[in-house]
A = this chain, B = another copy of it.
Amino acid sequence: ARPRVGYFYSGKSPRALIAEELRKLRVKDVKAVPVVVREGTSVYDAVVTMFLEDVGTLIVVNEEGFLEGVISRKDLLKVTLGQTDIHKVPVSVMMTRMPNIITTFPEETVYMAAKKLIEHEVDALPVVRTLVDSEGKEKLEVVGRITKTHITRLFVELGEAE
């Protein structure tokens, strides 16, 4: 019997096909706007921003708007538990700094970004574009963020029947 007209994936298992399709998705297709604060922002104001914007991770930028740090709900919870005066201490004291920040970029696959989230045990990645200044120094412009929530939402979308 002749097969009916349809898609034909020669020699590929369903799982191999899924892997291939998933690897076509790019960070730029799912990223969200970054929620940023300045280095001098107090811990208290950072927590308030986190609640107002309803995000789990804040991206810290310097005065030129370039990536300086990342601070998570977990980092802030640790601080609020201690004796620190959260109205006075700035986020720069406990934020994760370069070169320890795990980043992604618009053209990277969502698969690779998800892999970074898992391997480095973080909830969010800043999406950056690398610029080189007149002195040849690299600067990271923050153009978005991608989180486990975005990956979960994508998983749901992929599970929707067409």
**A-side interface residues toward B, CB under 8 Å?**
3-23, 44, 47, 50-51, 54, 56, 73-74, 76-78, 80-81, 86, 109-111, 114-115, 117-118, 121, 123, 148-149, 151-156, 158-162
Contact at B156–A47, with CB atoms within 8 Å? no
Query: Which B residues are CB-close (under 8 A) to A121?
Result: 54
Q: Min CB distance, A90 to chain B, in Å? A: 16
A9: which of B9, B44, B78, B117 is its contact (CB, 8 Å)? Answer: B9
The CA-CA distance from A153 to B22 in the complex, in Å, is: 13
Q: How many identical subunits does the complex contain? A: 2
Query: Which B residues are CB-close (under 8 A) to A161?
Result: 16, 19-20
Contact at A162–B16, with CB atoms within 8 Å? yes
Residue of B nearest to A117 (CB): B152
Query: Which B residues are CB-close (under 8 A) to A23?
Result: 159
A47: which of B77, B115, B158 is its contact (CB, 8 Å)? Answer: B77
Query: Which B residues are CB-close (under 8 A) to A78?
Result: 51
A73: which of B6, B15, B77, B118 is its contact (CB, 8 Å)? Answer: B77
Contact at A111–B156, with CB atoms within 8 Å? yes
Contact at B12–A7, with CB atoms within 8 Å? yes
Supplied contacts A13-B162, A18-B21, A111-B156, 15 more A-B pairs, CB within 8 Å: A3-B8, A4-B10, A6-B8, A8-B9, A15-B21, A15-B162, A17-B17, A17-B18, A22-B159, A114-B155, A114-B159, A118-B153, A148-B152, A151-B155, A152-B152
